[in-house]
Amino acid sequence: MTFANGMRNVFLEMLSRQPSEYTVTLEVTHHGPTEFKTPMFFAEVGSTENEWNDLNAVTVLVESILAGVNRKKKAEVAIGFGGGHYAPKFTPMEENIAFSHICPKYNADKLDLELVRQMVEKTSDGVDLAMIDEKGLKGKQRVMIKGLLEEIGIEFEKV
């Protein structure tokens, strides 16, 4: 279960405080879906001990989380399909859309109706639409994903 608008609000806080030596990005879903009932999301600093020990970066992250979870701003919620691990097409869209689960190109062949349903059902603030990174998927993946979305009644936009 995830909370798309909460994650978006933390993301926007991180953007506004971002240290110049860091890039703030979304990451695709890779810790779930899980069976946890409490909505959650991950916010992290880098992926090595150098970043983890950067007190300035960690302080920015903590301050962004504290400020972001208290923001009440809401945006349309989308699930995403395509692209790489750091969601290059979807990251800049986060200003206007709150993303919940994102399935990258490298996992798109594993999708089925049940997983797409879980992406929707395990978004606590509901899903308004799906975004499909047309160039970030193989042709057969695009066709399959569009069919699954149509089957469960989720409108989609191409980016």
pLDDT for the residue 8: 96
pLDDT for the residue 19: 85
Using CA atoms, how far apart are residues 155 and 157, in angstroms rounded to an integer? Answer: 7
Domain coordinates of the chain in residue numbers?
Answer: 4-158
Instruction: Tally the C-alpha atoms within 13 A of residue 132's C-alpha that lie toward its C-beta.
Output: 20
| Mean pLDDT on 93-99 | 94
Between vectors from CA 36 to CA 110 and to CA 109, what angle results, nearest 5°?
A: 5
Q: Measuring CA to CA, which residue among 23, 127, 26, 24 is closest to residue 84? A: 26
- Percent of residues in the chain assigned helix, strand, coil, to nearest 5: 45, 15, 45
| Mean pLDDT on 5-27 | 93
Give the class (CATH, top level) of 4-158. Answer: alpha beta
- Which pTM was predicted? 0.92
Q: How does pLDDT run across 30-56, given as a tens digit for each residue?
A: 775 567 888 888 899 988 999 999 999
Percent of the chain at pLDDT exceeding 90: 82
pLDDT confidence band for 137 (50 / 70 / 90) = very high
56-91: string of b/e by CB count within 10 Å (b at 16+)?
A: ebeebbeebbebbeeeeeebebbbbbbbeeebebbb
pLDDT for the residue 142: 98
